[in-house]
A and B are shown apart, each in its own frame.
Chain A
Amino acid sequence: MEAGEVSVLIGGKAGEGISSAGQVIARLLGQLGYRVHMHFDYPSLIKGGHNFAIVRGAGEPIGAVRNRVDLLLALDQETLRVHEWRLGGSGVVVCNSDTVKCPPGIGIPVQSILASEAAPAVMGNSAMLGAFARAAGMDWALAEQVFSRSFLKETARNLRIARKGYDASGERLRIQPLGKAPLPAFTGNEAMGIGLVEAGLGVYLSYPMSPTSNLMHFLAARADEARVRVIQPESEIAVILMALGCAYAGTRAAVGTSGGGFSLMVEALGLAGMAELPALIVLGQRAGPSTGLATYTAQADLEFAIHAGHGEFPRLVIAPGDANEARGWIRVAMDLAWKYQLPALFLPDRIICEGMYSLDPVATPGYRAGPVLADPGVHTYYRYALTDTGISPLRFPPAKGELVRVNSHAHDPDGTTTEEPGITRAMAEKRHRKMAGLARELEGLHPVKVAGDPDARTAILCWGSNKGVCGELGERLGLRAVRPVALWPFPEGSFAEAMDGVDRFYGVETNETGQLTRLVRAFGYQASGMVLKYDGRAFMVDELEQELRKVLT
């Protein structure tokens, strides 16, 4: 075991509840005061196939996992075959001795336990969870407390099965309690759902697509209590246009998709830009191009997000680094989209969407801004009034005696179509002026994060979910880890501050060409090299450490 941390892998077939078992392990570690990250790996199918979750706990907030694990929980032979190498010398195997040829370790007769309770196969993970708790040196009382809150269906039977697994197991290592207040663990999708409700969401629209489907499911399951409506229209084209209809009428909407769905939304993105309609688009990145690897990760849509759409129009692009930032910054994105009346693109990657993280009680940054509203006493209302800030105050219909008109064509201040060159130019400049205010406001929100050694002259540059792995390795290797959260408008001032004193830097990105590394070059920053990964998988801490050591020497 690495000092002060623990890593557990549970694997089995799709449909055996691997993800939910991983979540229970995360919850157990959370109760011991650990900050957790869970990485869930699954192929794009419903039953069968190999699923696994790696849960890692540490004393400080983390957002990455290691290749090496301390405990390997194998529900089937395939798990052992694929992952046994991860144990190294000291790891412990807990396996289903009824179906797996177990190496030395702990064998749990899962099928026999299930038979004794006349329980279905899907409850086998409860036996493994009980066995894990014992192997990790936890008291039954603590385990039972967490299990009883986690097994929402058939609680009593699942608890009996877990107890039998616990009794059949044996203590092999003791995960030390850290004495910190426990934090609950949520996926990035769930954290975004919380953030959206905090942001005053009225309507959530989505066409199902990994990796953001679970954001729709989270909100749909809580739609009544959170007072939001969740709508699944006929296509992503309908999704985004319905959201723009909501915006016109004054209701905060958000949409969620991935690259393929966003491709379909691009025409309407320009409409949002031209008609100056606030829109919040969650673009959960997965490995492309095209259908790509439907359930695996990538950070390859940054340039797409910044450039999508024909013509020129202002937009906001934000990439959170973990579930906490996903929750806090999605509200920033919503408020800024409404204040500046433009489309905001929110770019988590699959690791954030479907990975679990310990969630802080309070969202940060605590930014709040309302839309600029027109004075209802002033006649005549001009939807596209020319102003110094470029922001035309909003009104929503019905507004007796006034007209509220938005238009995809070039238009006059009242929204009527124009082809006149003077007003065309004036309106383009008005829209563009919004970017200046937006950029200023972003700079005040600490949009570029520095982790690791802030004084180091060698830096690694990353974005999105590589926050976790780069932050840890910055600490370990004495590197400055620089990470913009806001990517467009690019926070030039904050980035310059973050890079002050850096002699050389390396881009670390989960894509093939180094999209952020290329973006910063336009602002005068030339990387000395890049470490890139584009096989659908995230960087593991130990893996990236080796890669970085290679390029740094």
Chain B
Amino acid sequence: MKGTDLISRAKNTWCPGCGNFAIQHALKDLLAEMDEDRTLPLERVILVAGIGQHGKLFDFMNLNGFYALHGRTIPVAAGIRLANPDLTVICVTGDGDSYAEGLDHLVFAAKRNLDITVLVHDNRVYGLTTGQFTPTSPYGYRGHSTPAGEQERPLNPPGLMLASGATFIGRGYTGRRGELKDLIREALLHKGFSFVDILQVCATYNNLTSYYNERVYTWPRGDEGDLRAAQEKAGEWDYSTDARIGLGVMYRRTAPTFEESYPVPAPLSPAEKDGWVARVMGERS
């Protein structure tokens, strides 16, 4: 399996320069490598996509998948994992998708330590619907729905995930594709809920390339299990005011997963089923 085999024949409709390409190619290279060394056989990978520019990744890649609804990737992923914990589920979602419409699911997946990987294509703008502000747009963002500038402060997603109990939190940047690929690998290998906020350049509506390039740096390794250190990292930049922007693994710890708490029972055989029904009826006679 070569990475290029993972790119589908569907016509790519992202804008030239879109940060989604970097995510697509990081994922393609990574999954091909992991299939090659059998750390993650491709047939066990399920891509669950929301609705937004990010969601087109479903069409552009040759992977098992579930092209779901806006904001609703995570509960679908939970169902897949409940049904078959041998499957590895990658949710690709957008910032509108997971921070607005489906925020509750994100918080609960972290709370439950659902063993999935959530990659948020955080371009901080609605691309598919032509440039309205999202929950992570910078304060004062001017779009078609906020011509005078948005008056809400943005969410801080890694901080929110830390407070929600996520066991793996990372931040990537589409301008650093190599690091992004390594970060996603760590997220996939983490047993438990893995959250990666990917700062993604939107070439058309919110091109923050030079803003990011001037501010990003890579967090030093070694203190990922330290909650206080993680809180500091999360608070360093509030997604609006000027600050250094750290990248990499913000926090990591181990905890029992949702799936471990609800182990898959083998179904009853027909004879066992009849026996069960007879027992239940007998209790009432």
Residues of A within 8 A of B (CB): 27, 30, 182-186, 194, 197-198, 200, 202-203, 222, 224-229, 231, 233-235, 237-239, 241-251, 253, 267-268, 271, 275, 359, 361, 396-409, 411, 415-417
For B264, give the chain A residue with the smallest CB separation. Answer: A229
Give Cα A184 to B282, complex, Å: 8
Least Cβ distance of A477 to chain B in Å?
34
Give Cα A246 to B85, complex, Å: 11
Contacting chain A: which of B38-46, B134-142, B149-157, B224-232?
B38-46
**Contact A268–B69 (Cβ < 8 Å):** yes
Give Cα A197 to B273, complex, Å: 7
Interface string of B32-51 (1 = CB under 8 A from A): 00000000010110101001
Query: Could you say which interface size class chain B belongs to?
Result: 35 or more
Give Cα A251 to B284, complex, Å: 30
**Contact B285–A182 (Cβ < 8 Å):** yes
Whether B205 is near chain A, meaning CB under 8 Å from some CB there, is no
Give Cα A228 to B268, complex, Å: 9
Least Cβ distance of A223 to chain B in Å?
8
Task: State which of B78, B81, B265 has its C-beta within 8 Å of the C-beta of A224.
Answer: B265
Give Cα A473 to B285, complex, Å: 29
**Given A227-B268, A241-B75 in contact, is the A401-B82 Cβ separation under 8 Å?**
no
Least Cβ distance of A238 to chain B in Å?
4
Least Cβ distance of B99 to chain A in Å?
16
**Given A406-B66, A409-B67 in contact, is the A229-B79 Cβ separation under 8 Å?**
no
Least Cβ distance of A230 to chain B in Å?
9
Least Cβ distance of A268 to chain B in Å?
7
Residues of A within 8 A of B83 (CB): 202-203, 245-246, 248-251, 253
Residues of B within 8 A of A415 (CB): 65, 67
**Contact B69–A408 (Cβ < 8 Å):** yes
**Contact B108–A234 (Cβ < 8 Å):** yes
Whether B87 is near chain A, meaning CB under 8 Å from some CB there, is yes
For A224, give the chain B residue with the smallest CB separation. Answer: B265
For A31, give the chain B residue with the smallest CB separation. Answer: B285
Whether B214 is near chain A, meaning CB under 8 Å from some CB there, is no
**Contact A225–B66 (Cβ < 8 Å):** no
**Contact B265–A248 (Cβ < 8 Å):** no
**Contact A244–B59 (Cβ < 8 Å):** no
Give the top 10 A-B pairs by smallest Cβ distance, nearest first.
Answer: A245-B79, A184-B284, A251-B83, A249-B83, A241-B75, A242-B79, A227-B265, A398-B43, A407-B67, A238-B75
Residues of B within 8 A of A (CB): 8, 10, 41, 43-44, 46, 48, 51, 56, 58-59, 62-69, 72, 75-84, 86-87, 104-105, 108, 262, 264-268, 273, 276-277, 279-285
What are 9 sample pairs from A and B whose C-beta atoms fall under 8 A apart? A194-B280, A197-B276, A224-B265, A225-B276, A227-B266, A245-B80, A253-B79, A403-B65, A416-B8
Give Cα A181 to B84, complex, Å: 44
**Contact B262–A399 (Cβ < 8 Å):** no
**Contact A231–B69 (Cβ < 8 Å):** no
Task: State which of B44, B68, B267, B273 has its C-beta within 8 Å of the C-beta of A398.
Answer: B44
**Contact B82–A231 (Cβ < 8 Å):** yes
Least Cβ distance of B276 to chain A in Å?
6
**Contact B69–A248 (Cβ < 8 Å):** no
Residues of A within 8 A of B266 (CB): 227
**Given A231-B262, A248-B80, A408-B69 in contact, is the A417-B59 Cβ separation under 8 Å?**
yes
Give Cα A545 to B78, complex, Å: 51
**Given A242-B82, A245-B77 in contact, is the A397-B10 Cβ separation under 8 Å?**
no
**Contact B265–A398 (Cβ < 8 Å):** no
**Contact B79–A237 (Cβ < 8 Å):** no
Task: State which of A235, A399, A406 has its C-beta within 8 Å of the C-beta of B43.
Answer: A399
Residues of B within 8 A of A242 (CB): 75-76, 78-79, 82
Task: State which of A27, A243, A403, A416 has its C-beta within 8 Å of the C-beta of B64.
Answer: A403
Give Cα A396 to B82, complex, Å: 14
Give Cα A361 to B202, complex, Å: 64
For B47, give the chain A residue with the smallest CB separation. Answer: A405
Give Cα A243 to B82, complex, Å: 9
Residues of B within 8 A of A275 (CB): 66-67
Least Cβ distance of B34 to chain A in Å?
14
Residues of A within 8 A of B284 (CB): 27, 184-186
Residues of A within 8 A of B58 (CB): 405, 407, 417
**Given A249-B79, A251-B83 in contact, is the A361-B281 Cβ separation under 8 Å?**
yes
**Given A184-B281, A224-B265, A245-B76 in contact, is the A234-B105 Cβ separation under 8 Å?**
yes
Apart from A241-B76, A275-B66, A359-B281: 6 A-B pairs, beta carbons within 8 A? A185-B284, A225-B279, A227-B268, A248-B76, A248-B83, A251-B84
Least Cβ distance of A494 to chain B in Å?
29
Least Cβ distance of B190 to chain A in Å?
20
Give Cα A402 to B45, complex, Å: 12
Residues of B within 8 A of A253 (CB): 79, 83
**Given A233-B108, A242-B75 in contact, is the A405-B82 Cβ separation under 8 Å?**
no
Residues of A within 8 A of B78 (CB): 233, 238, 242, 245
**Contact A200–B76 (Cβ < 8 Å):** no
Give Cα A222 to B64, complex, Å: 34
For A411, give the chain B residue with the smallest CB separation. Answer: B67
Give Cα A184 to B283, complex, Å: 8
Least Cβ distance of A172 to chain B in Å?
27
**Contact B105–A227 (Cβ < 8 Å):** no
Residues of A within 8 A of B108 (CB): 233-234, 238
Least Cβ distance of A473 to chain B in Å?
29
Residues of A within 8 A of B84 (CB): 249-251, 396-397
Task: State which of A186, A245, A246, A417 has its C-beta within 8 Å of the C-beta of B10.
Answer: A417
**Given A227-B267, A268-B72, A417-B10 in contact, is the A246-B82 Cβ separation under 8 Å?**
yes
**Contact A398–B67 (Cβ < 8 Å):** no
Residues of A within 8 A of B68 (CB): 241, 271, 408
For A401, give the chain B residue with the smallest CB separation. Answer: B43
Give Cα A116 to B214, complex, Å: 83
Task: State which of B41, B72, B265 has its C-beta within 8 Å of the C-beta of A229.
Answer: B265
The listed residue with most A CB atoms (<10 A of its CB), out of B58, B59, B66, B285, is B66
Residues of A within 8 A of B46 (CB): 249, 397
**Contact B82–A271 (Cβ < 8 Å):** no
Give Cα A529 to B280, complex, Å: 44
Residues of A within 8 A of B72 (CB): 237, 241, 267-268
Give Cα A229 to B261, complex, Å: 11
Residues of A within 8 A of B277 (CB): 194, 197-198
**Contact A237–B86 (Cβ < 8 Å):** no
**Given A203-B83, A361-B281 in contact, is the A417-B105 Cβ separation under 8 Å?**
no
The listed residue with most A CB atoms (<10 A of its CB), out of B43, B80, B83, B87, is B83
Least Cβ distance of B272 to chain A in Å?
8
Residues of A within 8 A of B262 (CB): 229, 231
Give Cα A388 to B174, complex, Å: 46
**Given A185-B284, A197-B273, A268-B69 in contact, is the A397-B267 Cβ separation under 8 Å?**
no
